[in-house]
Amino acid sequence: KPSIVWFRDDLRIRDNPALRAAVDDGAAVALYILDEESPGIRPLGGAARWWLHHSLTALQDDLAALGVPLLFRRGSAAPIVQEITTAIGAGALFWNRRYGVAERTVDAGIKTWARDAGMHVESFQASLLHEPWEVTPKTGGQYKVFTPFWRTVLAQDFRDPLAVPDEGRGYAGTLPANDELESWHLLPTTPDWSAGLREAWTPGSAAGHQRLKEFVAGGLTNYDEGRNRPDIDGSSCLSPYLRWGELSPFEVWHTLASNRSESTSIFASELGWREFCWHQYFHNPDLATANLRKEFDRFPWAWPDSEGHETAVEELRAWQRGRTGFPLVDAGQRQLWQVGWMHNRVRMIAASFLVKNLGIHWQLGEQWFWDTLVDADPASNPANWQWVAGSGADASPFFRIFNPEAQRIKFDPQGKYIARWIPEFGTPDYPEEIVDLKTTRQDALAAYKELKEVH
Ligand code: FAD
């Protein structure tokens, strides 16, 4: 009997335990479902859809070389999996685990159905170095502080990455009806805003491996300092490849293991933050919509359009378009709009500016990033927004308010990053500052003080 390997956020053929199990089992058929219907699934943003389209195209080619056809279906996952497994008479179903509560609910339902139907069902750990329910503090529950969390994760043994499976037996049966990828309209057309993305990125596993190789041979040595500099190619730019599972964290880890240095352990701890974000998301499924620290529920953030906050509509728009008059914030927002990615330091500064200087709720920033980032991640995005806002786990304290001007002088000393993204900088076309940094900072601190006192 053939088996089914169900691809989700693991769009790779290397180090893919579910694929390996399916191919070892005999003739395999691969399935990808664009599920925007199951309850609680967060629909993808625009930049993510663009990436997904290209990633699936690359995956289809990679799988074809192994003799594994990839089927595309759109809709609620449970009935589709049932339909396809029945249609091909599958005897086994394999997938790599995912960690959002809505997704786990879908998976648990399918597992029960398939077992009841007499199928073999097996899931694997592939997207994270740790299983969030296995790594727990002695007192039980979840980790809320990064350092002890990461120490515990590091005490585990990480498995070696798996090689690409040998070409499989090939599925000889008829394939059930499935969609043309184009029919999903993941790519923007009117207008087509993806030119900058196309120029900046090559989605897919092969490109991810290439980037990893280049980074290890180049940027990694100087990563401890380079990672803070948006004006140079100082960080790995691996985030979308990790987000979509085109690279597995085990592969990245394994590559680092043969390159030990101060820079390597800093880089490794960034992978640790990715794990920590997923740890938080696993334990707090409403991470994108609820403050982890509940006292922040009473913080007087502006919600644009709400009474007394009418100017916030304009300010939010200026922030989104990179027209705040603060060049480092604006350069970051324009980089994001054009290439679907922003440097980490600039993400922190742009986010701090939105939340603390404009006083706008972090959820609106999170939603904007969700729509515009090619690495938009259901865990890392909300966790980092909460970190900046001060409402999250092991968060940056609220009173740490970045000064975008001081940061610009420090991290873009020659103004290269600004010049790259804001061609009109220094001309009358560049907007005036939309707020006063000093008074908005004082207002934010006063609001925070009140919150603490009431608490
Ligand atoms: P590198 O510095 O080379 O780091 C290597 C890898 O470690 C990254 O690819 C990423 O997978 C992981 N990583 C690094 N920093 C973090 C971090 N703070 N949190 C979680 N993982 C991290 N990252 C996302 O992948 N998706 C998001 O949606 C996302 N949203 C963010 C929103 C805000 C407001 C902030 C401040 C940060 C956000 N980050 C997000 C984290 C970080 O900015 C990006 O992972 C990083 O900029 C990606 O660039 P890189 O691959 O060159 O990173």
Pocket mutation for ligand 1, best pick of 201, 248, 270 (most atoms within 8 Å of C-beta): 270
Measured between alpha carbons, how far is 218 from 237 in angstroms, rounded to an integer? 13
3-state helix, strand, coil in the chain (%, to 5): 50, 5, 45
Instruction: For residue range 310-350, list pLDDT tens digits in order.
Output: 889 999 999 999 999 999 999 999 999 999 999 999 999 99
User: How close is the Cα of 56 to the center of ligand 1, in Å?
Assistant: 22
Measured between alpha carbons, how far is 274 from 234 in angstroms, rounded to an integer? 18
Measured between alpha carbons, how far is 200 from 124 in angstroms, rounded to an integer? 33
Instruction: For residue range 113-122, list pLDDT tens digits in order.
Output: 999 999 999 9
Residues in the chain, overall count: 455
Average pLDDT score over residue span 135-139: 94
Residue 285 CB: number of other CB atoms within 10 A? 18
With b for 16 or more beta-carbon neighbours within 10 A and e for fewer, the 312-322 pattern comes to beebbebbbeb
* Statement: residue 305 has pLDDT above 90: no
* Statement: residue 246 has pLDDT above 90: yes
- Which residue's structure tokens are 């969030």? 132
Cα 296 to the center of its chain, rounded Å? 24
Instruction: For residue range 58-96, list pLDDT tens digits in order.
Output: 999 999 999 999 999 999 999 999 999 999 999 999 999
| For ligand 1, atom 29: residue with the closest CA | 381
Pocket mutation for ligand 1, best pick of 211, 267, 274, 364 (most atoms within 8 Å of C-beta): 274
130: CB partners within 8 A, 6+ apart: 153, 156, 275, 279
Measured between alpha carbons, how far is 167 from 246 in angstroms, rounded to an integer? 19
Q: Which atom of ligand 1 is nearest to the CA of 241?
A: 9
| Phi, psi dihedrals of residue 279, rounded to the nearest 5° | -60, -45
How sure is the predictor about 452, in pLDDT bands with cuts at 50, 70 and 90? confident
Measured between alpha carbons, how far is 448 from 386 in angstroms, rounded to an integer? 15
| For ligand 1, atom 36: residue with the closest CA | 348
Instruction: For residue range 25-58, list pLDDT tens digits in order.
Output: 989 999 999 999 999 999 999 999 999 999 999 9
Pocket mutation for ligand 1, best pick of 380, 388, 407, 417 (most atoms within 8 Å of C-beta): 380
Measured between alpha carbons, how far is 108 from 95 in angstroms, rounded to an integer? 12
Q: Which atom of ligand 1 is nearest to the CA of 343?
A: 47
pLDDT of residue 306: 79
* Statement: residue 176 has pLDDT above 70: yes
| Phi, psi dihedrals of residue 94, rounded to the nearest 5° | -125, 145
Cα 371 to the center of its chain, rounded Å? 11
Question: Which of the 8 DSSP states describes residue 293?
Answer: S
* Statement: residue 455 has pLDDT above 60: no
Q: What is the CA radius of gyration of the chain?
A: 23
pLDDT of residue 184: 98
Average pLDDT score over residue span 401-410: 96
Among 79, 5, 77, CA closest to 35: 77
The three-state secondary structure class of 412 is coil
How sure is the predictor about 261, in pLDDT bands with cuts at 50, 70 and 90? confident
Cα–Cα distances in angstroms (integers) from residue 175 to residues 69, 72, 178, 238, in the given order:
9, 11, 8, 35
pLDDT of residue 331: 98
How sure is the predictor about 167, in pLDDT bands with cuts at 50, 70 and 90? confident
Measured between alpha carbons, how far is 63 from 164 in angstroms, rounded to an integer? 10
* Statement: residue 169 has pLDDT above 90: no
User: How close is the Cα of 366 to the center of ligand 1, in Å?
Assistant: 14
Average pLDDT score over residue span 191-202: 97
Whether the CB of 129 sits within 6 Å of ligand 1? no
Q: Which atom of ligand 1 is nearest to the CA of 277?
A: 20
Domains assigned to the chain? 1-126 (3.40.50.620), 128-159+205-283 (1.25.40.80), 294-454 (1.10.579.10)
User: How close is the Cα of 344 to the center of ligand 1, in Å?
Assistant: 6
User: How close is the Cα of 347 to the center of ligand 1, in Å?
Assistant: 9
Cα–Cα distances in angstroms (integers) from residue 354 to residues 30, 282, 398, in the given order:
43, 27, 13
| For ligand 1, atom 25: residue with the closest CA | 239
Whether the CB of 237 sits within 6 Å of ligand 1? yes
Let me know: does 141 contact 1? Beta carbons within 8 Å: no
Whether the CB of 375 sits within 6 Å of ligand 1? yes
User: How close is the Cα of 372 to the center of ligand 1, in Å?
Assistant: 14
Q: Which residues pair with 7 in a beta bridge?
A: 32
ipTM: 0.99
User: How close is the Cα of 29 to the center of ligand 1, in Å?
Assistant: 33
pLDDT of residue 396: 85
Measured between alpha carbons, how far is 301 from 298 in angstroms, rounded to an integer? 9
